[in-house]
Amino acid sequence: MRKIIVTGGAGFIGSNFIFYMLERHPEDRIICLDKLTYAGNLSTLAPVMDNPRFRFVRADICDRAAVNQLFQEEKPDIVVNFAAESHVDRSILNPDIFLQTNIIGTAVLMDACREYGAARFHQVSTDEVYGDLPLDRPDLLFTEETPIHTSSPYSSSKASADLLSLAYYRTYGLPVTISRCSNNYGPYQFPEKLIPLMIANALNDRPLPVYGEGLNVRDWLYVEDHCLAIDRILEKGRIGEVYNIGGHNEMKNIDIVRLICRELGKPESLISYVADRRGHDLRYAIDPEKIHRELGWLPETKFAEGIRKTICWYLDNRTWWEEIVSGEYQEYYKKMYGKTDEEMQ
């Protein structure tokens, strides 16, 4: 039995990874460590809370005493670090918490790995550390050799954590791997991100706020494909290596919004163009050739299939996201787009 600590496991990708690992690896024990910030939702983990191979621990990865106590109790074989402040807009409003969680928290986890002998530390990162690509050069893709060139406090904090992880590998011999993924979508994504925000607003006939002209391009990856890629890296990935995980699904933001309108039978007149984000990256596009060549991974979910599955999930789980889109989130929404949902109607 492998003991695997999954940090940030009450969030979007972390929770999907926990579900995936419990199903695919019945011999593993999964320990979820999560602070339960605004983006962490304990109800997400309800399906596995009674699983004897699962344990939930509420703690901050920056809390060295709490982290060390958990590592002492569990003696994990593997740590997969999803825990991060991850929304670019929030990093522009308040960079401090991103630096604390994403950099210091990663260091605390790696120190615990060194102290208690974890066999692997996997850092989950983002393609945003590479900056952006021009819209008129579709031939250009991010590879693992692309220089880091960050645009926001968020991406800078993630790049810092990546570099720190590689430094721990070189200096201390800590068995580290890093993955950098493109934009994820799927079940349980917090509705501040593009796809769930547009689904939730469209279902309620509310305005669909689109930055600028919506021409920014993203490479979309279905979350379960991401989980499979990390599983492959844990099993076969080379220590000290970075692996890019891309979806081969480049789309303009405005095209995503229009597609959601069509799927839900909503008019495009709901689209509301708002002032562009500061430092807004133009295009992300990952070349996953390395992980395909070395580990045999390629995305399995076509975007047309994945977006329909995602929309159906939000239709079938309205209670989950309706409880989120209220209160504190409305105040944040107002900061981002100038008005609350209600005021934009």
- Which tens digit of pLDDT belongs to each residue from 222-244? 999 999 999 999 999 999 999 99
Closest CA relative to residue 219, chosen from 193, 253, 186: 253
Residue 40 confidence class, pLDDT cut points 50, 70, 90: confident
For 290-319, write each residue's pLDDT tens digit: 999 999 999 999 999 999 999 999 999 998
Task: Kindly name the residue from 34, 74, 85, 128 that is annotated as catalytic.
Answer: 128
pLDDT of residue 309: 97
pLDDT surpassing 70 at residue 331:
no
* Phi, psi angles (nearest 5°) of residue 228: -60, -40
- CA dist 279 and 71 (Å) reads 39
Provide the percentage of residues in the chain whose pLDDT is more than 90. Answer: 77
d(C-alpha 233, C-alpha 237), whole Å: 4
Per DSSP (E only), the strands in the chain are 3-7, 29-34, 54-58, 78-81, 120-126, 176-181, 183-185, 208-211, 217-222, 242-245, 250-252, 271-274
Q: Is the pLDDT of residue 22 over 80?
A: yes
Answer for the pair 216, 252: CB distance below 8 angstroms, yes or no. yes
Question: What integer pLDDT is reported at residue 341 of this predicted model?
Answer: 52
271-305 burial string, b = 16+ CB within 10 Å, else e? beebeebeeebebbbbbbebbbeebebebebebee
| Closest CA relative to residue 123, chosen from 91, 79, 74 | 79
- CA neighbor of 284 nearest in space, from 245, 318, 240: 245
AA identity, residue 285: A
Quick check: 344 pLDDT over 50? Answer: no
- Residue 328: pLDDT over 70: no
pLDDT at 167 over 50: yes
Weakest mean pLDDT among 9-18, 83-92, 132-141, 161-170: 83-92
Least confident span in 133-147, 185-199, 286-300, 314-328: 314-328
Both tokens of 162, joined, read 């990546």
Q: For position 340, what pLDDT does the model report?
A: 54
Q: Is 154 a catalytic residue?
A: yes
Per-residue model confidence as pLDDT tens digits over 80-120: 999 998 777 788 888 999 999 999 999 999 999 999 999 99
pLDDT at 112: 98
Question: Under DSSP, is residue 221 helix (H, G, I), strand (E, B) or coil?
Answer: strand
**pLDDT for position 337:** 61
Q: What is the pLDDT averaged over residues 34-45?
A: 85
Strands (E) located in 85-151: 120-126
Please give the share of the chain, as a percent, with pLDDT higher than 70: 94
Cβ-based neighbours of 29, under 8 Å, separated by 6 or more: 1, 2, 3, 4, 53, 54, 55
Q: Which residue has the higher pLDDT, 72 or 323?
A: 72
Q: Which residue has the higher pLDDT, 77 or 131?
A: 77
The single-letter DSSP state of residue 133 is: -
Exactly one of 127, 192, 225, 281 is catalytic; which is it?
127
Task: Please provide the average confidence, as pLDDT, over all residues in the chain.
Answer: 92
Q: Which of 130, 132, 154, 333 is catalytic?
A: 154
Nearest to 195 by CA among 261, 139, 134: 261
